[in-house]
Amino acid sequence: MKRFSESVKIAFQSLAANKLRAFLTMLGIIIGVGAVVAMMSIGYGAQESVISSVQGIGSNLIIVTPGNREEESHGFEQMIGEDKDRKALTVNDVRTIEREATLLNGAAPAILNSSVVKYLNKNQRVTVYASSEKAEFIYNFEVDKGNFYTSSDVLNSANVVLVGQTVINKLFGRIDPMGKIIKIDGKNFTIIGTIKPKGTDQFGNDQDNSVTIPITTAQNKLYGIDYVNMIIAQSKSEDTMKQASYEVERILRRAHNLAPDEKNDFTVQSQTQLLDILGTITSIFTITISSIAGIALLVGGIGIMNIMLVSVTERTREIGIRKAVGAKNKDILLQFLTESVVLSITGGILGIAFAVTVSVLLNNFTILTTNISAFSIILALTFSTVVGLFFGIYPAMRAARLNPIEALRHE
């Protein structure tokens, strides 16, 4: 034990004797570890906020979108807008699903668009969520003041609207918005309620800069269309998600009169699948960045090996002295190995400190959410130890194998 603590002491002494050199050597490790930890924190942060925002819209959701996502060649056609399937889903589909499904709490259509709203002389560009009365529960719109639009509002294409907090602040300031008339794309709408603040989503979008109106009003009076962007259905329980998804698929195939050999003109995805996809995207991001950082660590390791070889040459005489007074080969090996590990772990700790700083700054001053996990810190420390051991072993072995007589003669 005394020998080991002596090794650690010697290691710090010899690093302190060459502070600048030690720091420059560690820089590779600092950058490598810093990059790994910082990038992982961004990756995890993104993953978490995506997951929470997907879960935030409600639970046990089944999402139906137009077009068959499984057909790969479709992507391009969809992009140039020649896809007939774009119009595949309608409000009638929602009604059919609601009428026939046994495993669902309900279903709501949705059209998302960006429009300018106007009150007196003030303008604001907002996101318009058009849906049915079911959206209050399925989408988790929490009403602050007033009431959500009703089924009869939807049936009658009523010009009613609920507004988010940002819209209230921008258009009304301190004035009570209830009952006021605003213009959306030039049409008059009466404010019947306000929505509780939701904050920003993972992409930094202000979710409160939005209004919601009945879907029929949007279709008939604003956009002049008869289709919807998506349908969101809610399964009665988590256990029946799969069966519920099949049920929705079956109902829609029949409603669309698809022959058995025809492909779906829509895609049914469960919330879990969506989460999986998003998870995959963020973990690919994390892996890519981490492997780049891994290369930085490798380069840092080579730097350590280089400096340790220099150190062995410089301290040949010291090695000779130690061997003359009874140091065994393994004592010398341990001493130099300790030194390279101390070098790399110190670099690792500084790198973590650097990453924590970066991550806190990103969290506070940018739209990125970061999360430093214990796992990434342990991983970084393990990696830097391994780098120290791996790149330190060769120089340490060279030191250990020196002939004491020649080492003592070395100038």
> Residues of 158-193 as b/e, b for ≥16 C-beta within 10 angstroms?
bbbbbbbbbbbebbbeeeebeebebebeeeebebbb
Rounded to a whole number of angstroms, the minimum distance from the CB of residue 309 to another protein is: 20
Residue 323, amino acid: K
Q: Which is nearer to another protein, 5 or 147 (CB)?
A: 5
Residue 25, phi then psi, degrees to nearest 5: -65, -40
Q: Which is nearer to another protein, 98 or 331 (CB)?
A: 331
- Residue 163: C-alpha distances to residues 118, 127, 158, 255, 307 (Å): 12, 10, 15, 34, 64
Rounded to a whole number of angstroms, the minimum distance from the CB of residue 346 to another protein is: 19
Rounded to a whole number of angstroms, the minimum distance from the CB of residue 323 to another protein is: 7
Q: Which is nearer to another protein, 255 or 397 (CB)?
A: 397
Residue 294, amino acid: G
- Residue 147: C-alpha distances to residues 144, 161, 218, 227 (Å): 8, 10, 19, 26
Q: Which is nearer to another protein, 31 or 399 (CB)?
A: 399
DSSP symbol at 249: H
Whether 101 and 244 have beta carbons less than 8 Å apart is answered as yes
Rounded to a whole number of angstroms, the minimum distance from the CB of residue 347 to another protein is: 22
Name the residues that contact another protein, by CB under 8 A. Answer: 2-3, 6, 13-14, 17, 317-318, 320-331, 404-405, 408
Rounded to a whole number of angstroms, the minimum distance from the CB of residue 411 to another protein is: 10
Q: Which is nearer to another protein, 6 or 77 (CB)?
A: 6
d(CA 42, CA 61): 27
Rounded to a whole number of angstroms, the minimum distance from the CB of residue 17 to another protein is: 6
Q: Which is nearer to another protein, 2 or 99 (CB)?
A: 2
